[in-house]
């Protein structure tokens, strides 16, 4: 699995959730079609009259998520930018997505503006497997953000974390080790560790 394959999953799902923040600082979410995915870039469009358009133009920050029938979920967070050569991109989007002609027939298509997300972070979750499988990938020039939990050298080897883990993804060692590719990030080990030896990845306790 890599970033492009994750974007391709979103493209196959097509109708996915896009989240932004409105002018009052409140979350806003809607279903938007993923129109193209190529070269680790995701393309979509929206009309200039929508609140979604105004929110994108104000900050560009967007979070995108979708789940397929195999319970594979992809989450993308990043910055959306409006593309130049608007008509060229809208025409291409309509060629790749011919059903759009029924929604915006003829010249009405040009009320739409094309956007691209090419920087951010992609997260993949396969919830159809046991234990679950997860992975993170940087998009563009971004660096992958570390999430979840880490067992430090303060570990006393009691095994309470291992016994508590719902996915059984903690291995015995000195210190014990969390298998990050199977971790739910639920924090149960963090809460139950009697030695306070578990910290959030990224240095936040």
Q: What is the pLDDT of residue 36?
A: 97
Q: What is the pLDDT along the chain (205 residues), one digit of tens a residue?
A: 899 999 999 999 999 999 999 999 999 999 999 999 999 999 999 999 999 999 999 999 999 999 999 999 999 999 999 999 999 999 999 999 999 999 999 999 999 999 999 999 999 999 999 999 999 999 987 676 788 999 999 999 999 999 999 999 999 999 999 999 999 999 999 999 999 999 998 754 4
Q: Which tokens belong to 48? A: 């200039």
Q: What is the pLDDT of residue 203?
A: 55
Q: Are 100 and 94 within 8 A, CB to CB? A: yes
The candidate with the shortest Cα–Cα distance to 118, out of 155, 82, 159, 154, is 82
Q: Beta-strand (E) ranges in the chain? A: 15-21, 27-33, 36-38, 41-47, 61-67, 72-82, 112-126, 133-139, 149-151, 170-171, 177-178, 198-200
The pTM for the full model equals 0.89
Q: What are the backbone angles phi and psi of residue 109, rounded to the nearest 5°? A: -60, -25
- How many Cβ atoms are within 10 Å of 155's Cβ, its own excluded? 18
What is d(CA 78, CA 53) in angstroms, rounded to the nearest whole number?
A: 16
What is d(CA 119, CA 79) in angstroms, rounded to the nearest whole number?
A: 6
Q: What is the pLDDT of residue 205?
A: 45
């Amino acid at each position: 699995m890599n970033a492009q394959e994750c974007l391709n999953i979103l493209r196959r799902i097509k109708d996915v959730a896009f989240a932004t923040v409105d002018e009052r600082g409140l979350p806003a979410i809607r279903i938007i079609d993923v129109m193209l995915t190529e070269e680790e870039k995701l393309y979509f469009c929206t009309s200039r009259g929508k609140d979604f358009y105004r929110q994108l133009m104000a900050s560009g920050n967007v979070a995108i998520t979708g789940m397929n029938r195999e319970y594979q979920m992809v989450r993308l967070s990043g910055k959306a930018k409006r593309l130049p050569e608007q008509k060229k991109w809208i025409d291409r989007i309509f060629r790749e997505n011919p059903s759009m002609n029924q929604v915006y027939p003829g010249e009405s298509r040009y009320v739409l503006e094309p956007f691209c997300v090419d920087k951010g972070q992609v997260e993949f979750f396969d919830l159809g497997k046991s234990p679950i499988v997860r992975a993170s990938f940087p998009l563009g020039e971004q660096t992958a953000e570390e999430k979840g939990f880490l067992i430090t050298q303060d570990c006393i080897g009691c095994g309470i974390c291992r016994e508590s883990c719902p996915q059984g993804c903690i291995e015995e060692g000195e210190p014990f080790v969390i298998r990050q590719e199977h971790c739910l990030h639920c924090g149960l080990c963090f809460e139950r560790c009697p030695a306070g030896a578990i910290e959030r990845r990224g240095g936040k306790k």
